[in-house]
Structure 1
């Protein structure tokens, strides 16, 4: 699972305050924008590092965000129940991502493990590849709302995918792309095979919920190791996280309401 990369707006929603510090790079209606926010943006968006105007672009985005944020607060959007629920769900997912990222950092997937999995995939390679798209959300209720909204509509799926907690695929209308079924979580693979093409379904994973859809299939061609090694590494990381979550569940005292 890749950590979710926060947008300029989302970072500002959680870090904006009313105290003006000496290290402020700008002020918006008296509200200071501290230097640390600029540093956080540049660190969270490595693609900006090579841009000579990156710092000014970050400051401009922070100013734009603060202007909109002040309007949101003035109109009371931060007190609306649906907005507060969305913020809470996003906060929970960010904390989950922080824990899992730390876990993987302490237990990195080795190159030899990636190569062993590649050899296993070739030995057991299926005849078809799947073209898959998905929308990651924080709760089952959100997944059900998204499913009702996107069924039968490519446009609705693409629009809903923009809010996906998986920021990488959110920018691609939710598309994961062409993958071998064996590269997917078993729960996802089984659900897609059962549903068939163009029928989004809800799948619960250890750290969240997915609305996932099989867009198309084609005859599988054996991929070369350099082309698939990163994908395999992500799969092994996901499996490690799933095992970690299962271990935490076994250690926890869980009481289900009757």
Structure 2
């Protein structure tokens, strides 16, 4: 009798322990339906991936969000909305999106960009952007006659900045007196760069310069050796760019290998 009592008590204790463990895996019971904690964890991970910090103080709000979703899901099921073709097609699309995202995340994780790749890309950047930088102003007009008249006015003592504000058609620089700030020759169209690099500090083009944008009057305010950002400064940007290029090639390779009939 005593053994049987102990056996029953042990079984009850075990069931109680299992019940507590099950409750620990759920954040709530909604209309008799357990709501697993894993849903709240997944929502928190979504927020983190979107760049939103998740703090312990947010737990009640996250729990309430998951509970409300369960309430709405149950109401939708009662109406049979989970049996509709629209619902099934939307679920299929979501399943595809999640699986594809995991594929790309796995590829990125297993194919990290190396320091050697970053160094090589930085070296190319440095080679393309080394040399001189020019602090330049320009006045852009629609035709050659206008440009010639402006040059004549400037030679008579007209102020470059004032004329640029009044007559230049370049929306990006006119308000600043034609100021294009510091830039390398590669930043401009070839015709502009060729004319600019022939000028010394303080000089202005004596004849209008034609480009695809119109007619330019160019003045060089200063010249200096290019100051390139360091590898450490550009490393995150270069790494991201290389990762995107690598991922794009991975996608293109998969598409190229696929047999599509």
TM-score under structure 1 normalisation?
Answer: 0.44
Bigger helix fraction: 2
TM-score under structure 2 normalisation?
Answer: 0.44
Greater Rg over alpha carbons, structure: 2
